[in-house]
Amino acid sequence: MAQHEKAIPDFLSGGGELGERIRDFDWAGTPLGPVAQWPQSLRTCVRIMLASRQPIWIGWGPELIKLYNDPYKAIVGGKHPWALGKPASVVWREIWDDIAPMLDTVMGKDQGTYVEAQLLIMERNGYPEETYYTFSYTPVPGEDGRPAGMICFNTDDTERIISERQLRTLTRLGKLLTDPSTNDGVVTKLLEAICENPHDFPFAAFYSWEKGLAHCAGATVEDQAFLDRQIDPKAGGGIAAAFARASSSRSLQLADVAQWGDRKLPTGAWQVPPRQVGILPISTSGKEPYGFLLFGLNPYRLVDEPYAGFFS
Protein backbone atom coordinates (compact mmCIF):
# COMPACT_ATOMS: atom_id res chain seq x y z
CA MET A 1 0.00 0.00 0.00
CA ALA A 2 1.30 3.46 -0.83
CA GLN A 3 2.28 5.55 2.16
CA HIS A 4 -0.27 8.27 1.42
CA GLU A 5 -3.19 5.80 1.37
CA LYS A 6 -5.17 5.34 4.57
CA ALA A 7 -6.20 1.88 5.68
CA ILE A 8 -9.97 1.46 5.65
CA PRO A 9 -11.40 -0.17 8.77
CA ASP A 10 -13.16 -3.41 7.94
CA PHE A 11 -16.51 -2.14 9.22
CA LEU A 12 -16.39 0.78 6.75
CA SER A 13 -15.48 -1.23 3.66
CA GLY A 14 -17.82 -1.27 0.67
CA GLY A 15 -21.25 0.30 0.94
CA GLY A 16 -21.30 2.14 -2.39
CA GLU A 17 -21.73 5.90 -2.35
CA LEU A 18 -22.64 6.15 1.33
CA GLY A 19 -19.76 3.93 2.32
CA GLU A 20 -17.43 6.36 0.60
CA ARG A 21 -19.16 9.40 2.06
CA ILE A 22 -19.03 7.97 5.58
CA ARG A 23 -15.32 7.19 5.17
CA ASP A 24 -14.58 10.72 3.93
CA PHE A 25 -16.82 12.56 6.41
CA ASP A 26 -15.25 14.72 9.13
CA TRP A 27 -16.81 12.91 12.08
CA ALA A 28 -14.43 14.63 14.46
CA GLY A 29 -16.59 17.73 13.96
CA THR A 30 -19.68 15.91 15.23
CA PRO A 31 -20.67 14.49 18.64
CA LEU A 32 -19.65 11.04 17.34
CA GLY A 33 -15.98 12.02 17.28
CA PRO A 34 -13.26 10.44 15.11
CA VAL A 35 -14.01 7.04 13.62
CA ALA A 36 -11.08 5.54 15.53
CA GLN A 37 -12.94 6.30 18.79
CA TRP A 38 -16.29 4.81 17.79
CA PRO A 39 -17.53 2.08 20.16
CA GLN A 40 -17.78 -1.48 18.91
CA SER A 41 -21.59 -1.43 18.98
CA LEU A 42 -21.69 1.50 16.55
CA ARG A 43 -19.11 -0.14 14.32
CA THR A 44 -21.16 -3.32 14.17
CA CYS A 45 -24.33 -1.39 13.27
CA VAL A 46 -22.55 0.52 10.51
CA ARG A 47 -21.18 -2.72 9.05
CA ILE A 48 -24.68 -4.26 9.01
CA MET A 49 -26.14 -1.12 7.47
CA LEU A 50 -23.58 -0.80 4.66
CA ALA A 51 -23.90 -4.48 3.74
CA SER A 52 -27.71 -4.42 3.61
CA ARG A 53 -29.89 -3.84 0.57
CA GLN A 54 -32.74 -2.67 2.78
CA PRO A 55 -33.08 1.06 3.58
CA ILE A 56 -31.47 1.56 7.00
CA TRP A 57 -30.48 4.53 9.08
CA ILE A 58 -28.66 4.75 12.38
CA GLY A 59 -29.11 7.45 15.00
CA TRP A 60 -26.31 7.72 17.54
CA GLY A 61 -25.89 9.65 20.76
CA PRO A 62 -28.35 11.98 22.52
CA GLU A 63 -28.91 13.90 19.27
CA LEU A 64 -29.28 10.73 17.20
CA ILE A 65 -26.66 11.79 14.66
CA LYS A 66 -27.70 10.28 11.38
CA LEU A 67 -25.92 7.70 9.23
CA TYR A 68 -27.63 5.82 6.40
CA ASN A 69 -26.97 3.51 3.46
CA ASP A 70 -27.47 3.72 -0.30
CA PRO A 71 -31.01 2.23 -0.35
CA TYR A 72 -32.08 4.88 2.16
CA LYS A 73 -31.25 7.66 -0.31
CA ALA A 74 -34.67 7.19 -1.92
CA ILE A 75 -36.30 7.91 1.45
CA VAL A 76 -34.24 10.94 2.39
CA GLY A 77 -34.65 12.28 -1.17
CA GLY A 78 -33.44 15.81 -1.78
CA LYS A 79 -31.96 16.00 1.72
CA HIS A 80 -29.13 13.73 0.58
CA PRO A 81 -26.20 14.15 1.14
CA TRP A 82 -26.85 17.06 3.53
CA ALA A 83 -28.60 14.72 6.01
CA LEU A 84 -25.48 12.69 6.74
CA GLY A 85 -24.05 13.58 10.15
CA LYS A 86 -27.01 15.78 11.13
CA PRO A 87 -29.27 15.29 14.18
CA ALA A 88 -32.41 13.30 13.33
CA SER A 89 -34.61 16.09 14.70
CA VAL A 90 -33.12 18.49 12.15
CA VAL A 91 -33.34 16.10 9.21
CA TRP A 92 -36.94 15.09 9.93
CA ARG A 93 -38.27 18.26 11.54
CA GLU A 94 -41.56 17.99 9.58
CA ILE A 95 -42.38 14.53 10.99
CA TRP A 96 -40.69 14.91 14.36
CA ASP A 97 -43.99 15.08 16.23
CA ASP A 98 -44.87 11.70 14.70
CA ILE A 99 -41.63 9.84 15.36
CA ALA A 100 -40.23 11.51 18.50
CA PRO A 101 -42.48 9.54 20.92
CA MET A 102 -41.26 6.28 19.39
CA LEU A 103 -37.63 7.38 19.61
CA ASP A 104 -38.17 8.41 23.23
CA THR A 105 -39.41 4.88 23.93
CA VAL A 106 -36.32 3.41 22.32
CA MET A 107 -33.75 5.66 23.96
CA GLY A 108 -35.48 6.29 27.28
CA LYS A 109 -37.07 2.92 27.99
CA ASP A 110 -34.76 0.58 26.07
CA GLN A 111 -37.73 -0.82 24.15
CA GLY A 112 -38.02 -1.37 20.42
CA THR A 113 -40.94 -0.04 18.37
CA TYR A 114 -42.60 -1.23 15.17
CA VAL A 115 -45.29 0.32 12.96
CA GLU A 116 -46.84 -0.79 9.68
CA ALA A 117 -47.83 1.47 6.78
CA GLN A 118 -47.42 4.59 8.91
CA LEU A 119 -48.55 7.79 7.19
CA LEU A 120 -45.80 10.43 7.24
CA ILE A 121 -46.04 13.79 5.47
CA MET A 122 -42.42 14.28 4.46
CA GLU A 123 -40.75 17.30 2.89
CA ARG A 124 -37.80 15.72 1.16
CA ASN A 125 -38.09 17.06 -2.38
CA GLY A 126 -39.20 20.64 -1.85
CA TYR A 127 -42.89 19.97 -1.15
CA PRO A 128 -44.97 18.12 1.47
CA GLU A 129 -45.56 14.56 0.30
CA GLU A 130 -47.87 11.72 1.34
CA THR A 131 -45.74 8.67 2.21
CA TYR A 132 -46.28 5.38 4.01
CA TYR A 133 -43.58 3.33 5.73
CA THR A 134 -43.27 0.18 7.75
CA PHE A 135 -40.32 0.56 10.08
CA SER A 136 -38.81 -0.50 13.36
CA TYR A 137 -36.63 1.35 15.86
CA THR A 138 -34.28 -0.91 17.82
CA PRO A 139 -32.12 0.33 20.71
CA VAL A 140 -28.39 -0.37 20.48
CA PRO A 141 -26.54 -0.65 23.81
CA GLY A 142 -23.41 1.28 24.52
CA GLU A 143 -20.49 0.13 26.65
CA ASP A 144 -22.49 0.76 29.83
CA GLY A 145 -25.36 -1.41 28.63
CA ARG A 146 -27.79 1.48 28.21
CA PRO A 147 -29.08 2.63 24.79
CA ALA A 148 -26.38 4.65 23.04
CA GLY A 149 -28.20 4.79 19.74
CA MET A 150 -30.75 3.08 17.55
CA ILE A 151 -31.02 1.37 14.18
CA CYS A 152 -34.02 1.65 11.89
CA PHE A 153 -35.05 -0.81 9.16
CA ASN A 154 -37.51 0.61 6.58
CA THR A 155 -39.93 -0.64 3.94
CA ASP A 156 -41.57 1.90 1.62
CA ASP A 157 -45.31 1.12 1.33
CA THR A 158 -46.28 4.37 -0.43
CA GLU A 159 -46.86 3.03 -3.93
CA ARG A 160 -48.76 -0.03 -2.66
CA ILE A 161 -51.06 1.93 -0.33
CA ILE A 162 -51.94 4.56 -2.93
CA SER A 163 -52.36 2.03 -5.76
CA GLU A 164 -54.68 -0.15 -3.68
CA ARG A 165 -56.74 2.86 -2.69
CA GLN A 166 -57.11 4.06 -6.25
CA LEU A 167 -57.89 0.57 -7.53
CA ARG A 168 -60.79 0.32 -5.09
CA THR A 169 -62.17 3.58 -6.45
CA LEU A 170 -61.74 2.55 -10.09
CA THR A 171 -63.35 -0.84 -9.42
CA ARG A 172 -66.35 0.82 -7.80
CA LEU A 173 -66.68 3.31 -10.65
CA GLY A 174 -66.24 0.61 -13.29
CA LYS A 175 -69.05 -1.44 -11.78
CA LEU A 176 -71.23 1.65 -11.66
CA LEU A 177 -70.70 2.45 -15.34
CA THR A 178 -71.27 -1.12 -16.57
CA ASP A 179 -74.23 -2.13 -14.37
CA PRO A 180 -77.56 -1.20 -16.07
CA SER A 181 -79.28 -1.22 -12.69
CA THR A 182 -77.34 1.91 -11.70
CA ASN A 183 -78.64 4.10 -14.50
CA ASP A 184 -81.19 5.68 -12.20
CA GLY A 185 -79.51 8.20 -9.94
CA VAL A 186 -76.14 7.70 -11.63
CA VAL A 187 -74.83 11.09 -10.48
CA THR A 188 -75.63 10.30 -6.86
CA LYS A 189 -73.96 6.90 -7.11
CA LEU A 190 -70.95 8.42 -8.87
CA LEU A 191 -70.45 10.91 -6.06
CA GLU A 192 -70.99 8.23 -3.42
CA ALA A 193 -68.19 6.14 -4.96
CA ILE A 194 -65.85 9.12 -5.06
CA CYS A 195 -66.78 10.09 -1.51
CA GLU A 196 -65.20 6.83 -0.29
CA ASN A 197 -61.77 8.13 -1.33
CA PRO A 198 -61.32 11.47 0.46
CA HIS A 199 -57.52 11.20 0.11
CA ASP A 200 -57.54 11.59 -3.67
CA PHE A 201 -60.84 13.51 -3.79
CA PRO A 202 -61.00 15.96 -0.85
CA PHE A 203 -64.25 17.08 -2.48
CA ALA A 204 -66.03 16.60 -5.78
CA ALA A 205 -69.06 18.04 -7.54
CA PHE A 206 -70.88 17.02 -10.71
CA TYR A 207 -71.95 19.73 -13.15
CA SER A 208 -74.48 18.92 -15.83
CA TRP A 209 -73.93 20.55 -19.22
CA GLU A 210 -76.93 22.29 -20.76
CA LYS A 211 -77.01 24.96 -23.47
CA GLY A 212 -73.42 25.98 -22.92
CA LEU A 213 -73.73 26.32 -19.15
CA ALA A 214 -72.53 24.04 -16.33
CA HIS A 215 -75.07 23.50 -13.54
CA CYS A 216 -74.14 22.00 -10.18
CA ALA A 217 -76.14 18.76 -9.79
CA GLY A 218 -74.59 17.36 -6.61
CA ALA A 219 -71.48 17.15 -4.46
CA THR A 220 -69.69 14.86 -2.00
CA VAL A 221 -69.98 17.36 0.86
CA GLU A 222 -72.98 18.77 2.67
CA ASP A 223 -71.71 22.34 2.94
CA GLN A 224 -71.63 23.46 -0.70
CA ALA A 225 -71.37 27.20 -0.12
CA PHE A 226 -67.99 27.26 -1.87
CA LEU A 227 -69.48 25.92 -5.12
CA ASP A 228 -70.83 28.03 -7.96
CA ARG A 229 -74.34 26.85 -8.74
CA GLN A 230 -73.80 27.76 -12.39
CA ILE A 231 -70.65 28.32 -14.43
CA ASP A 232 -70.48 29.99 -17.83
CA PRO A 233 -67.25 28.90 -19.57
CA LYS A 234 -67.56 31.86 -21.91
CA ALA A 235 -67.18 34.24 -18.99
CA GLY A 236 -63.41 33.73 -19.13
CA GLY A 237 -60.90 33.84 -16.31
CA GLY A 238 -60.66 31.77 -13.13
CA ILE A 239 -62.50 28.48 -12.91
CA ALA A 240 -64.66 29.33 -15.93
CA ALA A 241 -61.57 29.30 -18.15
CA ALA A 242 -60.68 25.83 -16.91
CA PHE A 243 -64.20 24.62 -17.75
CA ALA A 244 -63.80 26.10 -21.22
CA ARG A 245 -60.49 24.28 -21.75
CA ALA A 246 -61.99 21.01 -20.53
CA SER A 247 -64.96 21.41 -22.87
CA SER A 248 -62.88 22.14 -25.96
CA SER A 249 -60.11 19.62 -25.28
CA ARG A 250 -62.37 16.94 -23.77
CA SER A 251 -59.55 16.18 -21.36
CA LEU A 252 -58.63 16.78 -17.73
CA GLN A 253 -57.75 20.38 -16.95
CA LEU A 254 -56.19 21.76 -13.78
CA ALA A 255 -56.53 25.12 -12.08
CA ASP A 256 -54.91 26.61 -9.00
CA VAL A 257 -57.43 27.32 -6.27
CA ALA A 258 -56.10 30.88 -6.18
CA GLN A 259 -57.84 31.37 -9.55
CA TRP A 260 -61.10 30.46 -7.86
CA GLY A 261 -61.08 33.37 -5.47
CA ASP A 262 -61.12 33.38 -1.68
CA ARG A 263 -63.12 30.29 -0.71
CA LYS A 264 -63.06 27.92 2.24
CA LEU A 265 -62.58 24.54 0.61
CA PRO A 266 -63.22 21.12 2.19
CA THR A 267 -60.06 19.23 3.19
CA GLY A 268 -61.26 15.63 2.85
CA ALA A 269 -58.89 13.25 4.65
CA TRP A 270 -56.27 15.97 5.14
CA GLN A 271 -55.79 18.90 7.47
CA VAL A 272 -55.11 21.38 4.67
CA PRO A 273 -57.29 22.23 1.65
CA PRO A 274 -56.39 21.36 -1.94
CA ARG A 275 -53.99 23.63 -3.81
CA GLN A 276 -55.39 22.64 -7.19
CA VAL A 277 -58.71 21.51 -8.63
CA GLY A 278 -59.38 19.31 -11.62
CA ILE A 279 -62.16 19.57 -14.19
CA LEU A 280 -62.85 16.33 -16.03
CA PRO A 281 -65.39 16.24 -18.89
CA ILE A 282 -67.76 13.26 -18.78
CA SER A 283 -68.90 11.93 -22.15
CA THR A 284 -69.70 8.71 -24.01
CA SER A 285 -68.34 7.46 -27.35
CA GLY A 286 -66.52 10.68 -28.17
CA LYS A 287 -69.67 12.77 -28.03
CA GLU A 288 -69.99 16.21 -26.52
CA PRO A 289 -69.62 16.15 -22.72
CA TYR A 290 -72.89 15.79 -20.88
CA GLY A 291 -71.29 16.90 -17.64
CA PHE A 292 -68.12 17.76 -15.76
CA LEU A 293 -66.58 16.46 -12.58
CA LEU A 294 -65.01 19.25 -10.52
CA PHE A 295 -62.80 17.95 -7.72
CA GLY A 296 -60.09 18.98 -5.31
CA LEU A 297 -56.71 17.31 -5.69
CA ASN A 298 -54.63 15.67 -2.98
CA PRO A 299 -52.50 18.53 -1.55
CA TYR A 300 -49.70 16.08 -0.78
CA ARG A 301 -49.12 14.73 -4.27
CA LEU A 302 -47.68 16.24 -7.42
CA VAL A 303 -49.88 15.85 -10.47
CA ASP A 304 -47.46 13.61 -12.32
CA GLU A 305 -48.35 11.22 -15.15
CA PRO A 306 -49.55 8.33 -12.92
CA TYR A 307 -51.72 10.64 -10.80
CA ALA A 308 -53.24 12.38 -13.83
CA GLY A 309 -53.79 8.99 -15.45
CA PHE A 310 -55.83 7.86 -12.47
CA PHE A 311 -58.30 10.68 -13.00
CA SER A 312 -58.46 10.21 -16.75
Q: Is the pTM of this model over 0.95?
A: no
Worst-scoring range by mean pLDDT, 40-54, 234-248, 284-298? Answer: 284-298
**CATH 3.30.450.20 occupies which residues in the chain?**
10-156
**Start-end of CATH 3.30.450.40 domains in the chain:** 160-311
Specify the pLDDT at position 170.
Answer: 92
Q: Which fold has domain 10-156?
A: Beta-Lactamase (3.30.450)
Q: Which fold has domain 160-311?
A: Beta-Lactamase (3.30.450)
Write out the DSSP string of 17-53: HHHHHHHHS-GGGSTT--GGG--HHHHHHHHHHHH-S
Q: Summarize pLDDT for 158-213 with one digit per residue, the tens.
A: 999 999 999 999 998 887 766 555 455 778 888 999 999 999 999 999 999 998 99
According to the model, what pLDDT value does residue 1 have? 41
Describe the crossing of helices 186-195 and 158-178 by its angle, rounded to 10 degrees: 170
pLDDT of residue 177: 62
**Percent with pLDDT over 70 in the chain:** 95
CB neighbour list of residue 161: distance below 8 Å, 6 or more residues apart = 117, 132
Whole-number CA gyration radius for the chain: 26
> Please, which pLDDT band fits residue 122 given cuts at 50, 70 and 90?
very high
